[in-house]
Amino acid sequence: MQALTFTTPPPSDSAAEALRHEVREFLGVELRDHTPFQRAESWSGNDPAFSRKMGKRGWIGMTMPKAYGGHERSALERYVVLEEMLAAGAPVGHHWVADRQSGPSILRNGTEEQRQTILPKIAAGECSFCIGMSEPDSGSDLAAARTRAQRVQGGWLVNGTKVWTSGAHKADYMILFCRTGAKSEDDRHAGASQFLVEMKQARAAGMTVRPIVDMRGAHHFNEVAIEDLLLPEDALLGQEGDGWKQVTAELAFERSGPDRFLSSFTLLVELVRTLGPAAPERAAVAIGRLTSHILALRRLSRSVAGMLQAGEDPALQAALVKDLGNVLEQETVEVVRLLIDVEPSEDDGNPPLVAVLAHLIMTAPSFSLRGGTREILRGIIARGLGLR
Ligand SMILES: Cc1cc2nc3c(=O)[nH]c(=O)nc-3n(C[C@H](O)[C@H](O)[C@H](O)COP(=O)(O)OP(=O)(O)OC[C@H]3O[C@@H](n4cnc5c(N)ncnc54)[C@H](O)[C@@H]3O)c2cc1C
pLDDT in tens, 276-299: 999 999 999 999 999 999 999 999
pLDDT of residue 250: 87
Cα 139 to middle of ligand 1, angstroms:
5
| Ligand 1 neighbours by CB, cut-off 6 Å | 130-131, 133-134, 139-140, 164-166, 221, 366, 369-370, 372-373, 375-376, 379
Question: What does the DSSP 8-state code read for residue 135?
Answer: B
Closest CA to 330 of 264, 285, 256, 378: 264
pLDDT of residue 117: 97
Contacts of 188 (CB under 8 A, 6+ apart): 143
pLDDT of residue 315: 87
pLDDT confidence bin for 48, thresholds 50/70/90: very high
* Distance from chain centroid for Cα 243: 19
pLDDT of residue 352: 93
Report the percent of the chain where pLDDT is more than 90.
84
Question: 91-133: per-residue pLDDT in tens?
Answer: 999 999 999 999 999 999 999 999 999 999 999 999 999 999 9
Give the mean pLDDT of 334-344. 93
Report the percent of the chain where pLDDT is more than 70.
100
Give the mean pLDDT of 151-155. 96
Predicted confidence (pLDDT) at residue 56 exceeds the cutoff of 90: yes
pLDDT confidence bin for 253, thresholds 50/70/90: confident
Mutate which of 373, 378, 387, 388 to test ligand 1's pocket (most atoms within 8 Å of Cβ)?
A: 373
pLDDT of residue 125: 98
pLDDT of residue 17: 92
Between the two ends of the chain, the Cα-to-Cα distance in Å is 10
pLDDT confidence bin for 60, thresholds 50/70/90: very high
pLDDT of residue 319: 94
Contacts of 71 (CB under 8 A, 6+ apart): 58, 61, 62, 63, 64, 123
Q: How far apart are CA 225 and CA 160, in angstroms?
A: 6
Q: Average pLDDT over the chain, rounded to whole?
A: 95
- CA 151, 225, 377, 100: dihedral to nearest 10 degrees? 80
Closest CA to 163 of 144, 135, 137, 143: 135
pLDDT of residue 12: 81
Give the mean pLDDT of 230-247. 96
173-179 and 219-232 strand pairing:
unpaired
Cα 369 to middle of ligand 1, angstroms:
5
pLDDT of residue 318: 92
